[in-house]
Amino acid sequence: MPRPPHAKQTILAAAEALVRDVGTAHLTFDELVKRSGITRGGITYHFPTKEALLEAIIHHDIEQWHACVEDKQRGLTGASADLQAYIASSSEVDEATNRLCAGLLSVASGSSPLNGPWKQYYEAHHERVVQASPDPVMAAILSLATEGLFWQETLGLSPLSTEERQQIVDRLLQLAQQVYER
């Protein structure tokens, strides 16, 4: 029996929804069959293990992240565009993305193979944005502050009001511009 042409994307979307809705502990092939409408055999054809499925979710999240950063770069000019796009993208609050990232973090924190895609992403970011800047130390500080802001929000730990958060984002963007104006 032929598989639906978009089975892989359907499975991935259903898996992401499960992680967002109930967490990675409840991400099972039986639940995926219910949510996706694709047979267990169809699911395991594309994703033979839960780890392979989680890794695909991480890669998909990184792809979406790249698209968001690229979208932010379209509205920016100047040498600081990469760093500003990174700050602006990281600073957007999206509850669904936060739940997905928190769910993935809970699994990846104990599994070095699942950390591979994120490690590659951060290494590429470090080379493209941090090391390429005129002040790599300040670019690293701004990137790390941005990550801290993102993860505090994602994990529901941020003590900041919406206004305070926006003031911090605005200052980060201002500092990013100054890195390239010196």
For 35-49, what is each residue's pLDDT tens digit?
999 999 999 999 999
Q: Taking residues 153-164, report their average pLDDT.
A: 91
Any residues with CB less than 8 A from the CB of 38 and at least 6 apart, and which? 3, 4, 7, 10, 11, 32
What confidence category does residue 111 fall into, taking pLDDT thresholds of 50, 70 and 90? Answer: low
Q: Identify the H or E element spanning 175.
A: helix 162-181
Any residues with CB less than 8 A from the CB of 101 and at least 6 apart, and which? 61, 154
Higher-confidence residue: 160 or 78? 160
User: What class is the 1-48 domain?
Assistant: mainly alpha
Q: What is the pLDDT of residue 8?
A: 92
Nearest by Cα to 64 from 16, 129, 102: 16
